[in-house]
Amino acid sequence: MEYLKSYSNSGDKLVSYLVEGSIGDCLASQGKGKEAIPYFMKAGKSLDNIIHTPMLYKKAAIIYRENGDYDKVIELFTTIKNDYANSPVAAEADKYIEEATLMKGQSK
């Protein structure tokens, strides 16, 4: 992670934001999911493409799911489903939305 954090922008936006996402991956693998979410969200929003954005949003949503924040899970997968409908991640969005809805109902 120290190499990723020391990365200096080469002018390539794709690489720069994927570095942000990779920092999120490192934090998540260290059990620091809450710290990873902003990296995934920033990278996803900044890239705004059909391949990387849904993947990064899914990573954030999975952490929210693990922490019981089902509203955020529903929000992110709904965004993926509506804004990136042709992405591979969108194909599984309904499954996660339904699960989060059920879990949210059970936690009340």
Query: How buried is residue 62: exposed, middle or buried, by Cβ count under 10 Å (0-12/13-18/19+)?
Result: middle
For 35, 51, 81, the CA distances from 88, given in Å and listed in that order, are 26, 8, 10
- At residue 93, does pLDDT exceed 70? yes
Type of residue at 11? G
Q: Domain holding 21: CATH number?
A: 1.25.40.10
Domain that holds residue 38: 2-106
Domain count for the chain: 1
pLDDT per position as a tens digit, 26-51: 999 999 999 999 999 999 999 899 99
107: pLDDT confidence band, cut at 50, 70 and 90? confident
Q: 1 versus 97: which is more confidently predicted?
A: 97
DSSP helix/strand/coil, 38: helix
In terms of pTM, does the model score above 0.85?
A: yes
Separation between Cα atoms, residue 14 and residue 19, nearest integer Å: 9
